[in-house]
Amino acid sequence: MPTIQPARQDSLTVAPAAASAGTRTLALDIGGTGLKALLLGPDGAALTERLRVPTPRPATPEALLHAIWHLIEPLGEFDRISVGFPGVVVDGVTKTAPNLHELWQGFDLGKALAEGSRRPVRVLNDAGVQGYGVIEGKGLEMVLTLGTGLGCGLYLDGKYVPNLELAHHPFRHGKTYEEYVGAKALKAVGKKKWNKRVERVIEQVLPIWNPRRLYLGGGNAKHVKLELPDNVKLTPNIAGLLGGIALWHDVVDVAKAVDAPDNAR
């Protein structure tokens, strides 16, 4: 079973041109606030800087696809695509997208990207991909991403348990986890109270799931100023892209590939 190396830093080490031969993976991280993209080399190292544009509003499939094609233009050639999507994904089809648009219910994102790029595509929940950028691949590991929404990923010996939507489970005072610590809550209550809330979430989650490690990621993890238990780690948001390489490892059989159309190069 491959060990997935954690991403240790927020700033990227971009591989030199000489190291960039071989399969190139376009990694896409679709977020409620930003769309991010970079190219990864065969070993998962970043070959380019990360590009980012704001998520278009309304965030319909059509608007996002348009923005994605535009965003990735400067990145150049690639052989396959890995996508992190902020909702439930089954076999490349998006089932929910609480922070995007209702038109994502039942949208075949894998197919749309494979047809548009003529490359094979694998799509997974965004927190699922993020976790693959940080886990060690040993025992039970969990990731919570603090961003527009609350992402959640669970892994057993490096194998992802898909679509665990803790975000929308009731938590406290009539609020779901996402309503309690999502980006709207951070804006509404401020960093100090929000940190207290994140602490309560951690205290709730640890004794229920008993992960060996709990990783905190997502764009708002940088605002976490807590003394964390030994097995809780803050991780950089770039993992949401770097984790994309793992979707092509055998162990990740939940991100079923959507093949490129027959006439692909």
Site of interaction with ligand BGC (CB under 6 A): 86-88, 98-99, 125-127, 145, 147, 149-151, 165, 167, 178
Task: For ligand BGC, give the closer residue by CB, 42 or 61.
Answer: 61
C-alpha to C-alpha distance for 233 and 216, rounded to whole angstroms: 6
- Least distance CB 63 / ligand BGC (angstroms): 18
Find, among 245, 201, 216, 206, the residue nearest to 153 by Cα.
216
C-alpha to C-alpha distance for 29 and 249, rounded to whole angstroms: 18
Find, among 175, 128, 117, 170, the residue nearest to 151 by Cα.
128
Task: For ligand BGC, give the closer residue by CB, 93 or 167.
Answer: 167
- Least distance CB 88 / ligand BGC (angstroms): 6
- Least distance CB 84 / ligand BGC (angstroms): 8
Task: For ligand BGC, give the closer residue by CB, 149 or 236.
Answer: 149
Minimal CB distance to ligand BGC: which residue? 149
DSSP assignment letter at 209: H
Task: For ligand BGC, give the closer residue by CB, 88 or 114.
Answer: 88
Report the 10 Å Cβ neighbour count for 252: 24
Query: Token pair for residue 251?
Result: 């162990």
Task: For ligand BGC, give the closer residue by CB, 97 or 260.
Answer: 97
- Least distance CB 96 / ligand BGC (angstroms): 6
- Least distance CB 49 / ligand BGC (angstroms): 23
Burial of 79 (0-12, 13-18, 19+ CB in 10 A): middle
